[in-house]
Amino acid sequence: MANFNVHFSVAATSSSIVAILGVNLNVMDFSHAPWLIFLGIVGGMLPDIDAVNSKPVRLLFNILALLSSTAVLSTLKNYVVPYQLFALAVVIYWLTRFLVLASIKRFTVHRGIFHSILALIFFTLLMVCISDYSFKQDAKYAWLNGFFLGFGFLVHLLLDEMYSVDLSNRRMKKSFGTALKLFNYKNLPSSALMTLLTIFLYWATPPLSELITVTEQRVGYFIFLISQYNEV
C-alpha cells in the first residue's frame, strides 16, 4: 500500500499536469487551476478515508468538514440571518468532523467500499452536485471540479494496485485486487446503497454537454494547428 506522502505527491503532480494541459488547450481558465489541483489532491487522499486512525485522514476530515460548512453557508446565505448561519456552519463542521468519522470507523473496513470504481463515480458526481447547487458554479466548472476529484481518486486506486505487485519478486501481494475493484463484493448491501445514491446524484447533475463541446472544439483546433505545422 502506498503511503500518504506517495499519494500526496503523485496526486499533486498528476493533477497539475492535467491542469496545465487544460489551461493550454483553453478548456479552462488559469485562475481555476489552483482550486482544481487542490480537488485532485483531495481526491487522491479520499479512498483512504476509511483508514480512520491515521493522522492524514484526520487532516482530510478537517478539509472535508470545512468544505461542507462552506457549501452549506453558500447555499443558505440568502435565506438565513448571519448569526444562525454561523451557528449552522459550526454544527455542520463538527458533524462532518466527528459523526461521519465515527460512523465510518464503526461501519467500514479499510480497502472496503471506498476503494472501488463505484465510490469513484459516487464522489465525482457528489462534487459536481455540490459545485452546482451550493457553490453555484456553471455546468462546465461543476463537471471540471468533479472530474479533477475523480481523477485524483483514480490515481490513488492505481497506485495502491501498483504497490500490490512485488516488483523484485515479480509476484502479487495479498492486497492485489483490493483497491481497483468495481464495487465491494464482500458487502453487497453497502454497494447497493451506494449504487442507488450514485444514480440519484447522476439524475441531479447539470448537463455535461457544455464541457464536452468546449473540449472537442479545443482539441480539434489543437490537432488542426499541429497538422498545419507539419505541412510547413
Residues in contact with Zn ion by CB under 5 A are 47-48, 160
Cβ proximity to Zn ion: between 48 and 132 the closer is 48
The CB-of-116 to Zn ion minimum distance in angstroms stands at: 11
The CB-of-35 to Zn ion minimum distance in angstroms stands at: 24
Q: For residue 131, give the nearest of 122, 118, 120, 140 by alpha carbon.
A: 140
How far is it, in rounded angstroms, from Cα 10 to Cα 137? 27
Q: Which residues contact 142 (CB under 8 A, 6 or more apart)?
A: 128, 129, 131, 132, 135, 205, 206
Cβ proximity to Zn ion: between 22 and 112 the closer is 112
The CB-of-126 to Zn ion minimum distance in angstroms stands at: 19
Cβ proximity to Zn ion: between 132 and 160 the closer is 160
The CB-of-156 to Zn ion minimum distance in angstroms stands at: 6
Cβ proximity to Zn ion: between 2 and 71 the closer is 2
* Nine cell digits for residue 182: 468495481
